Structures are given as C-alpha cells and as structure tokens.
Amino acid sequence: MLGPQIWASMRPALSRGISRNMKGKKVDIAGIYPAVTTPFTATAEVDYGKLEENLNKLGTFPFRGFVVQGSTGEFPFLTSHERLEVVSRARQAIPKDKLLIAGSGCESTQATVEMTVSMAQVGADAAMVVTPFYYRGRMSSAALIHHYTKVADLSPIPVVLYSVPANTGLDLPVDAVVTLSQHPNIIGIKDSGGDVTKIGLMVHKTSKQDFQVLAGSVGFLLASYAVGAVGSICGLANVLGAQVCQLERLCLTGQWEAARTLQHRLIEPNTAVTRRFGIPGLKKTMDWFGYYGGPCRAPLQELSPANEEALRLDFSNNGWL
C-alpha cells in the first residue's frame, strides 16, 4: 500500500489523469453482473485456478460484466495483496469486452483511494466502493459525501457507490446519493437495501445526471426495473445466470407477465443464498450446479445438514434442482 508521502505526492498527477478521463463518455454499466465468489482451498488459501474456471463457465452467459471483491467475494477476510491478485487474475480470465468492477472499499478514505488506484493498475474498469461503517454513528451525509468525493477525485477509474445496510448497518441516504451523482467520476450505485421506493426516488432525483442505479439482489429485480433501475449485481447469477439474464430480457422488452412469473420462482432461491444462508449457502449451491463453491474462509462456517436440506428445498420447490 502507499505511504503518506506517496499519497500526498500523487494527488496532482491523479487529478490531471482524471480530468482527461472525464472528457470522454461515462461508462455504461447497465446489465447483469454476477457478484463473484472467492474460491478457497481446504487450507483456506485463495484458489486462483478455481476462480479462473468459474469465470470461464460464467463467461458463457450474456452478462455485462463481473464484480469481484464485493460482499459475496468475502473481501473483508482477504489481505490487500489477495484482493489485488483476485482482480488481476479475473481481468486475465474474462473477455476484454466485459466490464470488471472491483470492490475497493476500505474503512478510511486514504486506504480506499490507495486500494482503488491499485485495482485500476491491475485491470479494473470501475471501482465499487462500500460505505465505511465502523464508526457508523459519525457517518452523516456530510461525512459520506466528503469520503466519496475524495475517492472519486483521485480515482483513475469511475466509481460506483455501494450501499449494503444488511452488512454495514448503514444505509447511504438519498440526499447523499443525489449530491454525489453530480460528481463527474461517480457513475452509479449498487443498492442492496431492498427498498424499491428508495430506488425509484434515486432514479427520479438523479434523472438529470449521467447516473445509473443497479439493484443489489435478484429478489427485487423486476420491481427495480419497473421504477427505472438498469440492471443488477447479484449473487444468484453465480448459479442461475441464464435465468437472471432472461428476467432482464423480459423486463426490457415489456413482457411483464412472464417476468413476474419468473421473478416469483427466483425469490426463494435468492433469499436462501443471501439473507437466509448467505455465502456458505451460495457456495454449496454452486457445487450442485457444476461450479466450484468450496469452503468459506473462517469465521464463516459450512452449513449444517439441516440447513443444507432446507437450501436444497428452496431450489427444488421452484423447479431449479
């Protein structure tokens, strides 16, 4: 990571680089992205070979791109070196025409800038920055606007805001999103809160900006499209990629009845691999569907036999297993 002196000295150069980037058209992030898991060996080392295998299989679906080092990627459990290596290996594995969005959020603004710059250097097309939350009681709209503005000012790649209150206990306020949408290097938000009213309000209040809203889960994807979202970053796409892309097509072509039917069949499986059983559930499901899920890194634990059976029922009852 970069030291304080390097941090200070790089500001002018980075600012010049960003001003050149901002002259062009912003990156269009509309579409479906799997929130890629990080594979581990039995000894809890990152398995880069399995990562490549999974990405190659996922590459057969019409995704807009891939998101690595988000919540599904267990990024808080990885070292800085591992986080960067995952991004580097992912860039090598996915087609050049697919976007690679890398989660670069850290608790401090300085660390986030350093991580974002480093991820750009190893091939990320955009950075997804989660809200800092450890001192959540002090994370007012003003604090969050200041944080994201500094990151976007110094990032050589576009920034996507990331609100995931189930994990952070902090919901990025609409007023902060509206203010940040005016920054020329902030291009959108992944909102995982599940409040469709908020998603619609963000779309409405940022409509004059070149800003896009992505749903953070398949469970409310149809509703999000209905109020103006342009896609989703979702864990379920790791196992039901074809079906999630089909839901996207149905919504974009106005086939709402068929979309509603498919959405209903995806709600229980999506809940199972997110809120109910989390990443251990998603990785177990990946094993069933021909991908490598494997173990999580401690302290996350594997599912109990009873939970595994409940997970299987959520998929089989809806016709997916």
pLDDT digits (tens, 9 = 90+) for 182-219: 999 999 999 999 999 999 999 999 999 999 999 999 99
What whole-number distance in Å separates Cα of residue 231 and Cα of residue 69? Answer: 19
Quick one: tokens of 175? Answer: 């007023």
Report the alpha-carbon distance of residue 188 to residue 256 in Å, rounded.
25
Any idea what the CATH number is for the domain that residue 189 is in?
3.20.20.70
Residue 81 has pLDDT above 80, yes or no: yes
Q: Is residue 51 part of a domain?
A: yes
pLDDT tens, residue by residue, 70-80: 999 999 999 99
Residue 290 lies in a domain: no
Q: What is the pLDDT of residue 107?
A: 98
Q: Give the pLDDT confidence score for residue 26 in this predicted structure.
A: 77
The token pair at 108 is 């401090």
- The residue among 52, 206, 29 whose CA lies nearest residue 128 is 29
In the predicted model, what is the mean pLDDT of the chain?
A: 93
Please give the share of the chain, as a percent, with pLDDT higher than 70: 92
pLDDT digits (tens, 9 = 90+) for 126-182: 999 999 999 999 999 999 999 999 999 999 999 999 999 999 999 999 999 999 999
Q: Which residue has the higher pLDDT, 203 or 10?
A: 203
Name residues whose C-beta falls within 8 Å of residue 62's C-beta, 6 or more positions apart in sequence: 32, 245
Is residue 13 predicted with pLDDT exceeding 50? no
Q: What percent of the chain has pLDDT over 90?
A: 92
- Altogether, the residues listed in the chain come to a count of 321
Active site residues: 190
Q: Is residue 274 part of a domain?
A: no
pLDDT band at 2 (very low <50, low <70, confident <90, very high): very low
Report yes or no on 64 lying in a domain. yes
pLDDT tens digits, residue range 22-53? Answer: 434 479 999 999 999 999 999 999 999 999 99
Q: Cβ of 181: how many Cβ atoms within 10 Å? A: 22
Which residues, 6+ apart, have CB-to-CB distance to 274 below 8 Å? 217, 219, 235, 236, 282
d(CA 243, CA 240): 5
Q: Per-residue confidence at 272, pLDDT binned at 50, 70, 90?
A: very high
pLDDT for res 22: 42
Whether residue 273 lies inside any domain: the answer is: no
Residue 286 forms part of a structural domain: no
Least confident of 11-15, 96-100, 132-136: 11-15
Query: How many folded domains does the chain comprise?
Result: 1
The answer to whether residue 227 sits within a structural domain is: yes
Q: Could you tell me if residue 20 is inside a domain?
A: yes
Q: CB-hemisphere CA count at 13 Å for 125?
A: 20
Domain range for 231 = 4-255
